[in-house]
Structure 1
């Protein structure tokens, strides 16, 4: 049964924003693989003949990770804990029955799960099983996590969450794309037209959910931040209380992870393409259901963006690289190399140089102060002389 709950709030106060996944009932490993419809829809077996994501690192900024899940062992590289938990593992701030690791584990599985059992035939297999996951548990520090990912070798950054932006949120994404790192973010599951962050930042590829029939989810936030659709309805994920649990989930969170996995495949096959040129391949090969084609939508559409991703054609089709910026909104100018201070996002210099008027005011204040000091010194000298004269008269 499809879960209707949207924008699942993260457990307790563990994350500032909302993780974009709603989880349903449990499932067995065998049933999980049978129900993993995106791999069949994508023609994954054929796509893997072109690329598996080998040599590509996908940084997943999320709540936490169960690295010991049977479908993910060995898939993690070193990350960093930007959360308020001891190890970013859900050790505190948890609601009853919740685990901070659930969401991050689910995203990691969609991207780079290898399954388990004979030939990895059971459980969750990711769309880019050859890729590695850089786990970055985060609490109120998405910008710091983004910069860390860039500086420590990430090729792709997955952001399956929405939150209130910090001064450095968009600047850090600018920094990432300038360094050649592709940033993918979810549009949110409010079912309205509100623009969320970090997806609203220029440079982020905005993703919404689509079902197995190619229809956009009613839960998607619909606005100009929606660039592409990917599977996000009835998705089997590695999630639960143990290393062998699974759930069925909905949301733009899962869709974001599928786009990040597709980017990993493209980065392996086309290592010289810029983030904008990677986006160009996704846009040029995106599809629409026949009903929407018949409507002759003007793309990008606020409900469909440019359409749903098609990894196989994106890998195989002969497509000119095109301009470095690509077809999606990109940040302009040079990215700040250091984190942006609060206030600077409104065009205000947090430590501005003094102008001429300010300097005159300062110099005037210094001059007045100097006169006051001189006056005090003179008064003290005069008083001392009078006192000495008095003393001479008394002792003479």
Structure 2
């Protein structure tokens, strides 16, 4: 998905990784390096013996030919993505280092039309320990059954709390490319080093975020060489790496809540500050992993900004599940009404019990055949003084004007691109 050109010495390779500087990698690594997180790379295979990837690549699966998930001669793409995510470099200032250098890569060789399909690869990744799935490839199709299979696999991943990150496509149009456009996936477009959208980056509602994607340095599929290229593939890899950083630091957050942190901290360049978000090209903006790691951001609903697949909507009746904060608030209000009704019925029953006890006591006091004397005071349980709580402790405050924080934001939550060092 990108053209490549050879690069010079390894120390120059590190210097040319402009995206790491733009993403404040040195500061990011003080908070997280992705330790303990497995990122599946569904692609054309990964060169596990590359000097910058040794020790960070798991065994994986080859759905194309069987055997190991190593690339064929001339195939660089999967290795490039793996190095952008989890390359560790081979010296203090040498080689490619990924944004999440302590994450592990699960290589899955499945691409093009010769394999069983992206859906099979996604399910394999979920079942073999990945918590982030990087799909730096996409396809267009008029075959609804093929689209359904892919979308069902993304829903399967989301139901197992695994985040699928997909490239938006490199055709410079508004066509939906899958799995990025599948409900539940996080679609990513590409920007250049000035923050402007790359001219070939696809646009549309399936673009949720953007990330660096031009002149990106990465590792070769054979030997220990390097190359540079352009594409939403690279942007997807950087976004998957950012998700891995967050999953390492916030292991209790759901996949949707990880996406929420990325969305809520995304930025726009100064020249694009007037855009309403989500924008068809930028989505919610350019990833800012440092802010996503450090800012105080409410966890939000289970699925955050991700579109909830229909199958998951049907399976879950829990009021906390929803595609947005607005749906969360609606669900909470509904729950409050139900509990309030139960409280009213409960009070009515208690009142009836009290009334019966009073009548019964009066019958006892008047049972002597004459007017009741002062006698001993009658004591009743004090239920009537314990009214049902007026506030549901699980209810979020509702503003008079309902607002969906994932729709039509006049400006991004965070300020600028590139971020300040």
TM-score, length basis structure 1: 0.74
SS at match of 1:46: helix
Aligned partners of 2:313, 2:12: CA distance in 1, in Å? Answer: 47
**Structure 1 position 162, deviation (Å):** 1.1
SS at match of 1:150: helix
Q: 1:336 to 1:324 in 2, by over 3 A?
A: closer
Aligned partners of 2:269, 2:23: CA distance in 1, in Å? Answer: 15
* Among candidates 114, 122, 129, match of residue 146 of structure 1: 122
Aligned partners of 2:187, 2:30: CA distance in 1, in Å? Answer: 27
**Structure 1 position 275, deviation (Å):** 1.4
**Structure 1 position 336, deviation (Å):** 11
SS at match of 2:210: strand
Identify the residue that residue 370 of structure 1 maps to in structure 2.
Answer: none
**Structure 1 position 145, deviation (Å):** 1.1
* Among candidates 63, 68, 74, match of residue 99 of structure 1: 74
Q: 1:90 to 1:45 in 2, by over 3 A?
A: closer
1:235 aligns with 2:216: yes
Q: 1:28 to 1:336 in 2, by over 3 A?
A: farther
Q: 1:221 to 1:157 in 2, by over 3 A?
A: same
Q: After the TM superposition, which residues 44-55 of structure 1 pair with which residues of structure 2 at under 5 Å, given as runs? A: 44-55=25-36
**Structure 1 position 39, deviation (Å):** 1.1
Tell whether the 8 Å contact from 1:267 to 1:273 is kept in structure 2 after alignment: yes
Q: After the TM superposition, which residues 240-319 of structure 1 pair with which residues of structure 2 at under 5 Å, given as runs? A: 241-242=222-223, 244-293=224-273, 296-319=274-297
Q: After the TM superposition, which residues 85-96 of structure 1 pair with which residues of structure 2 at under 5 Å, given as runs? A: 87-91=68-72
* Among candidates 207, 220, 225, match of residue 188 of structure 2: 207
Q: After the TM superposition, which residues 82-161 of structure 1 pair with which residues of structure 2 at under 5 Å, given as runs? A: 82-84=63-65, 87-91=68-72, 99-100=74-75, 102-117=76-91, 119=92, 121-138=93-110, 139-161=115-137
Tell whether the 8 Å contact from 1:236 to 1:247 is kept in structure 2 after alignment: yes
Tell whether the 8 Å contact from 2:38 to 2:132 is kept in structure 1 after alignment: yes
Tell whether the 8 Å contact from 2:7 to 2:13 is kept in structure 1 after alignment: no
**Structure 1 position 113, deviation (Å):** 0.2
Aligned length: 306
Residue by residue over 1:20-44, the C-alpha shift from the partner in whole angstroms, topping out at 9 and shown as x without a partner, is 3332333321111000011111111
**Structure 1 position 303, deviation (Å):** 1.4
Residue by residue over 1:111-136, the C-alpha shift from the partner in whole angstroms, topping out at 9 and shown as x without a partner, is 0000013x3x2010000001000010
Identify the residue that residue 56 of structure 2 maps to in structure 1.
Answer: 75
1:24 aligns with 2:5: yes
Q: Which moved more, 1:137-146 or 1:227-236?
A: 137-146
Q: After the TM superposition, which residues 349-388 of structure 1 pair with which residues of structure 2 at under 5 Å, given as runs? A: none
Tell whether the 8 Å contact from 2:48 to 2:70 is kept in structure 1 after alignment: no
Aligned partners of 1:187, 1:302: CA distance in 2, in Å? Answer: 11
SS at match of 1:157: strand
Aligned partners of 1:336, 1:28: CA distance in 2, in Å? Answer: 55
CA RMSD of aligned residues (A): 1.8
**Structure 1 position 279, deviation (Å):** 1.0
SS at match of 2:158: helix
Residue by residue over 1:293-317, the C-alpha shift from the partner in whole angstroms, topping out at 9 and shown as x without a partner, is 0xx2111111111110000000000
SS at match of 1:161: coil
Identify the residue that residue 384 of structure 1 maps to in structure 2.
Answer: none
Aligned partners of 1:25, 1:143: CA distance in 2, in Å? Answer: 34
**Structure 1 position 213, deviation (Å):** 1.2
Identify the residue that residue 352 of structure 1 maps to in structure 2.
Answer: none
Tell whether the 8 Å contact from 2:7 to 2:227 is kept in structure 1 after alignment: yes
Unaligned runs of 5+ in 2: 316-421
* Among candidates 156, 170, 177, match of residue 151 of structure 2: 170
Unaligned runs of 5+ in 1: 1-19, 92-97, 338-396
Aligned partners of 2:192, 2:51: CA distance in 1, in Å? Answer: 27
